[in-house]
Chains A and B, each alone.
Chain A
Amino acid sequence: MSERIYVFKRFERFWHWSQAALILFLMVTGFEIHGSYANFGFEKAVGLHTIAAWTLVGLWVFAIFWHFTTGEWRQYIPTTEKVVAMMRYYMKGIFENAPHPFRATRLRKHNPLQRLAYLGVLLFISPLLWITGWLYLFYADWAAWGLADLRLEWVATGHTLGAFLMLAFLIAHLYLATAGHTPSAHIKAMVTGWEEVD
C-alpha cells in the first residue's frame, strides 16, 4: 500500500509556485521585448519585465537563505546512482507499468534526473539569464564599470539563449510533472507538500 511523506515544506512550495508564475510572466514579457509578438506594448513590457525580474531577485534572496539554513541545497548534489535506471524507465518502463525506480524520501526528494536537470538550471540557465539580464538593466553604466567594449548584441543574444533554454526546460518540466507514481502525484505534492509513494 502507498504511504505519504511530507516532501515540500510550506516555504518551498511558495517559492516554487511564485517563481513559476514570475518565470512565466518574464517569458511572456521578455519575448514581447524580443519582438516575437505584441501584447502589452514594448514600453509596458519592459517595465513589467523589470519589475518581475527584481521581484524574482527578492524571492531568490529568501530561497538561497532558506536552502542554506535548512541544508536543503544538498538536494541538488548530482549523483550517478540510478540515472540509467531513470532513463530506462522514462523510455520503456513507464509504458509497461513498471515500478518507478526511484523512491522519494525526505532527504532525497528529487530523482537523479531531476537533480541533474535542476542543477543545470541553477548552474547554467539561471546564471546566464541573471548575468545578461543585469547587464541589460545597467546598460547605461557599462562605461563606468569599465565594460565599454561589451556589446549589447552579445548580451541580448545570451539573454535570449537563456530564455529559449528556460522555455525548453519549462515544457519538459511541465510534462514530467505528470510522470510520477501516478500522473497527479508530483503535482499534488507540489501543492500540498505530501507525496504518495509506493
Chain B
Amino acid sequence: MKYAITRIALLMCCIGWLMPVSHALAGEAKAEIKPLKLTTTADHTKFKALQKEFKSGPEVTRACLGCHTEAAGQIHRTKHWTWEYLNPDTRQTLGKKTVVNNFCISIASNYASCTACHVGYGWKDASFDFKSEENVDCLACHDTTGNYKKPPGFAGHPVTRDTEFPPGSGKIIKGINLTQVAQKVGKSSRDTCGACHFNGGGGDGVKHGDMDSSLAAPTKSVDVHMDAEGLDFTCGTCHASSSHDVAGSRYTPTAQDKKGAHLRGKADNGNPATCVACHGNAPHKQEARLNHHASKIACQTCHIPAIARGGIATKLTWDWSTAGQRDAEGKHIVRKDAKGRIVYESRKGDFTLGENVQPEYVWFNGEVIYTLLGDKIEKSDGVTKINKLGGSPADGKSMIWPMKVFRGSQPYDPVNKTLVTPHTAGNDDSGYWKNLDWDKAIAVGMKASGAPFSGKIDFIKTEMSWPITHMVAPKDKALACIECHRKEGRLAAIQGVYLPGRDGNRLLDTAGWSVALLTLLGVLGHGALRIISRRKH
C-alpha cells in the first residue's frame, strides 16, 4: 500500500515535470506545420540569388536560370517566343511576325511597341537574338504581384526607373521594383495571360470579344469555369502546358474533338483545351437529344450566347480609310460615343463597338488560310478575307461554330494588289500615329517587311473571323431551342441541315394548307346548302 502511494506520488511528480516540457514540444511541432497547404515547394523570397537589386529584366532572368537551367531553352521552342508558326496542313508560315490583320495591321516596323507583349527583352527589330537565354522574360507569365508592366515602346523591357516617354512629352512612366516582383514569382494566372491576351488589338477586349479584363475575376454568369468565387479556373487549367508550351491555337484550332475526355496515361491525347477534353462527347445527362446536337454543333455555339458578355465592349468594325482628319488647329481628333468609348481617332479611323453581340455562325473544320502579305487581292472581290475558314456540312469534320467577324477597311497597294504593312507606332517622322502620313508610313513599313510597294495607296474592305470559345455561360444561360429552331433564327444562314421550326417543304406547306382550307370551305358550303334546303322543305 505504502509502496503504491510512493509510486503514485512519483508518477505525479514525473507528470508535473514533464508537462511543461510536452507543452514546449507540442508548441515547436505546431510551428512546423504551416497554416496553409502551400501549392509550391519554394518560397522565392528566401532565395539568395533574388535578394539583390535588379536593374533590368535580363538580370532577373539570369537569376532564374541559375536554378531553372533549362527553362529558357523550353521557351525558345514556343510560339510565345518565336512569334512564328508553320501550319503543318496549309504549309503557310504564320505567327505574329508574319500575319497581317485588320486591327493594327502588322508588327513589322512597329516592334518596339508590339513586343511589349513578347515573352522576351529587346526585340526592337530584325536583329533580335532568338538564341539569347537571358532575353527570355520569365516575369511576364510568372509575376504574381500585378506590378510587373512592360509599356509599349520599350521593346519588351520593363521600366525600372521613372522615365519620360515619349521623350519630351512630359509623361512619366514610373519605374517598377523588379526585386519585389522576382521574389514573388509563381504560377501563371488570369492576370498574367490577360495582360496581353485581354488587350489584343490595342485595348481591353478590342480583338477577341471573348477575352477581356472582365475575366480577371469574373462572376459565374460571365464565365462558369473562371468564376472567381467558384471553380476559379486559370487560363492554364484548360490550356494545360508542359515544357512551357501552351496548348491551344488559333492557327490550327480543334474544331471537332472526337477523342473524348482525356485520361491520364493515355497516349496522344490531343488538345487539352477543348471542351470535350474534360466533358467528353456526351456531356448532357438529362437530354440525350442534346448530345446528338453536339455531333454537329460546337459546344460554344449554345453555351456562349453572346460575344463580350462581361461588360467590356469589343471592336466590331475598324475603318482605316477615314483616319488622318485633323481639327481646325491641325491637331489629332478623338471622338467618343455616349458611353465614353472612342469611336474615332485621327490615328486609326472610325470604329464601332458592341457588348453582348450575337455571334455569326459557320461550318468550321479547323482549317484556316491566311491572306498574307505576298498574296494577290482584288478590290473587285468586294471583301478580302484576312483568314478564310474551311468547313462544310458534308466534310464530316466541320461543326457549327460561333464567330466574331471583324470587318474593316484598310490600306492596300492597288498596283501590286497586296495588303500593306504601315509603320504605325513609333516616335519618328514616318510613324502614322504621329504624323498621319500614309505615304511615308507605308513606304517605311513595306521596306521593313521586305515587300514591294508601288507608292499608290487605296483602301480595301477586309474581314477576319475569330472563333468564339471563352466566356462560357452557366447552363441555365445557354441558348434556348427557339434561338435556332425558328425562321430567321441564329442559324438562318446555316446550310446542310434540316432544322425543325426553320425548314419545311414550301410546296407541301402550300398544298397542305390549301387542302385544309378547301376542305373547310367545302364543308361550310355543304352545311350552308343544308340549312337553306331545310328551310325550303
Interface positions of A (Cβ within 8 A of B):
33-36, 38, 41-43, 46, 90, 94-97, 139-140, 151-153, 156-157, 160-161, 163-165, 167-168, 171-172, 174-176, 178-179
The answer on a CB contact under 8 Å between B512 and A35 is no
List residues of chain B with CB within 8 A of the CB of A97: 533-534, 537
Q: What 19 new A-B contacts, CB under 8 Å, besides A42-B481, A156-B504?
A: A34-B500, A34-B504, A35-B485, A35-B502, A36-B509, A38-B486, A41-B482, A94-B533, A153-B503, A153-B505, A156-B503, A157-B504, A160-B508, A165-B515, A167-B516, A168-B519, A171-B519, A172-B522, A179-B530
Cβ-neighbour of A35 out of B501, B522, B533 (below 8 A)? B501
State in angstroms the CA–CA spacing of A8 and B259 once bound together: 60
| Stretch from B2-10, B21-29, B31-39, B284-292 forming part of the interface with A | B284-292
State in angstroms the CA–CA spacing of A153 and B505 once bound together: 9
The answer on a CB contact under 8 Å between B504 and A139 is no
The answer on a CB contact under 8 Å between A156 and B523 is no
List residues of chain B with CB within 8 A of the CB of A165: 515
State in angstroms the CA–CA spacing of A42 and B533 once bound together: 46
State in angstroms the CA–CA spacing of A3 and B43 once bound together: 104
Cβ-neighbour of A164 out of B292, B500, B503, B515 (below 8 A)? B515
| B266-314, CB < 8 A from A | 288-289, 291-292
**Between-chain CB contacts (< 8 Å), 23 pairs:** A33-B500, A33-B501, A34-B500, A35-B485, A35-B504, A36-B509, A42-B481, A42-B485, A42-B501, A90-B526, A94-B533, A140-B291, A156-B503, A161-B508, A164-B513, A167-B512, A167-B516, A171-B520, A172-B519, A172-B522, A175-B526, A175-B527, A179-B530
Nearest B-chain residue to A41, judged by Cβ: B482
The answer on a CB contact under 8 Å between B523 and A139 is no
The answer on a CB contact under 8 Å between B292 and A42 is no
The answer on a CB contact under 8 Å between A94 and B530 is yes
The answer on a CB contact under 8 Å between A160 and B480 is no
Kindly provide the distance from the CB of A12 to the nearest chain B CB, expressed in whole angstroms: 25
Interface positions of B (Cβ within 8 A of A):
288-289, 291-292, 480-482, 485-487, 497-498, 500-505, 508-509, 511-513, 515-516, 519-520, 522-523, 526-527, 529-530, 533-534, 537
Cβ-neighbour of B509 out of A33, A95, A160 (below 8 A)? A160
List residues of chain B with CB within 8 A of the CB of A41: 480-482
State in angstroms the CA–CA spacing of A139 and B290 once bound together: 11
List residues of chain A with CB within 8 A of the CB of B515: 164-165, 168
The answer on a CB contact under 8 Å between A140 and B288 is yes
* 10 tightest Cβ-Cβ pairs between the two chains A and B: A164-B512, A175-B523, A140-B292, A95-B533, A153-B498, A43-B481, A42-B482, A152-B498, A35-B501, A42-B485
Nearest A-chain residue to B522, judged by Cβ: A172
Nearest A-chain residue to B514, judged by Cβ: A164
List residues of chain B with CB within 8 A of the CB of A174: 523
List residues of chain A with CB within 8 A of the CB of B485: 33, 35, 42
Cβ-neighbour of A43 out of B480, B504, B530 (below 8 A)? B480
State in angstroms the CA–CA spacing of A90 and B523 once bound together: 11
Kindly provide the distance from the CB of B64 to the nearest chain A CB, expressed in whole angstroms: 53
Residue of A35, A140, A178 most packed against chain B (CB within 10 A):
A35
Cβ-neighbour of B523 out of A35, A151, A164, A172 (below 8 A)? A172
Contacts A34-B500, A46-B481, A171-B519 given; indicate if A164 touches B508 (C-beta within 8 A): yes
Kindly provide the distance from the CB of A148 to the nearest chain B CB, expressed in whole angstroms: 12
List residues of chain B with CB within 8 A of the CB of A160: 504-505, 508-509, 512
List residues of chain B with CB within 8 A of the CB of A161: 508, 512
State in angstroms the CA–CA spacing of A173 and B115 once bound together: 78
State in angstroms the CA–CA spacing of A94 and B526 once bound together: 10
List residues of chain A with CB within 8 A of the CB of B480: 41-43
List residues of chain A with CB within 8 A of the CB of B291: 140
Residue of A36, A90, A164 most packed against chain B (CB within 10 A):
A164
The answer on a CB contact under 8 Å between A95 and B530 is yes
List residues of chain A with CB within 8 A of the CB of B505: 153, 157, 160
Nearest A-chain residue to B483, judged by Cβ: A42
State in angstroms the CA–CA spacing of A176 and B524 once bound together: 11
The answer on a CB contact under 8 Å between B500 and A35 is yes
Kindly provide the distance from the CB of A24 to the nearest chain B CB, expressed in whole angstroms: 14
Contacts A42-B486, A139-B292, A140-B288 given; indicate if A178 touches B527 (C-beta within 8 A): yes
List residues of chain B with CB within 8 A of the CB of A175: 523, 526-527
State in angstroms the CA–CA spacing of A152 and B497 once bound together: 8
Contacts A35-B501, A151-B498, A161-B508 given; indicate if A171 touches B534 (C-beta within 8 A): no
List residues of chain B with CB within 8 A of the CB of A157: 504-505, 508
State in angstroms the CA–CA spacing of A157 and B507 once bound together: 10
List residues of chain A with CB within 8 A of the CB of B289: 139-140
List residues of chain A with CB within 8 A of the CB of B529: 95
State in angstroms the CA–CA spacing of A175 and B486 once bound together: 33
List residues of chain B with CB within 8 A of the CB of A35: 485-487, 500-504
The answer on a CB contact under 8 Å between A34 and B519 is no
Nearest B-chain residue to A169, judged by Cβ: B519
State in angstroms the CA–CA spacing of A165 and B515 once bound together: 8
Residue of B500, B527, B537 most packed against chain A (CB within 10 A):
B500
List residues of chain B with CB within 8 A of the CB of A95: 529-530, 533
Kindly provide the distance from the CB of A29 to the nearest chain B CB, expressed in whole angstroms: 12
List residues of chain A with CB within 8 A of the CB of B527: 175, 178
Kindly provide the distance from the CB of A92 to the nearest chain B CB, expressed in whole angstroms: 10
State in angstroms the CA–CA spacing of A33 and B289 once bound together: 15
List residues of chain B with CB within 8 A of the CB of A179: 530
State in angstroms the CA–CA spacing of A46 and B508 once bound together: 21
List residues of chain A with CB within 8 A of the CB of B501: 33-35, 42
The answer on a CB contact under 8 Å between A164 and B486 is no
Kindly provide the distance from the CB of B395 to the nearest chain A CB, expressed in whole angstroms: 16
List residues of chain A with CB within 8 A of the CB of B519: 168, 171-172
Kindly provide the distance from the CB of A166 to the nearest chain B CB, expressed in whole angstroms: 10
State in angstroms the CA–CA spacing of A94 and B530 once bound together: 7
State in angstroms the CA–CA spacing of A35 and B503 once bound together: 8
Nearest B-chain residue to A33, judged by Cβ: B500
Residue of B288, B480, B523 most packed against chain A (CB within 10 A):
B523
Kindly provide the distance from the CB of B508 to the nearest chain A CB, expressed in whole angstroms: 6
Nearest A-chain residue to B529, judged by Cβ: A95
Kindly provide the distance from the CB of B31 to the nearest chain A CB, expressed in whole angstroms: 60
State in angstroms the CA–CA spacing of A107 and B27 once bound together: 100
Kindly provide the distance from the CB of A5 to the nearest chain B CB, expressed in whole angstroms: 24
Kindly provide the distance from the CB of B258 to the nearest chain A CB, expressed in whole angstroms: 14
List residues of chain A with CB within 8 A of the CB of B503: 35, 153, 156
Nearest A-chain residue to B293, judged by Cβ: A140
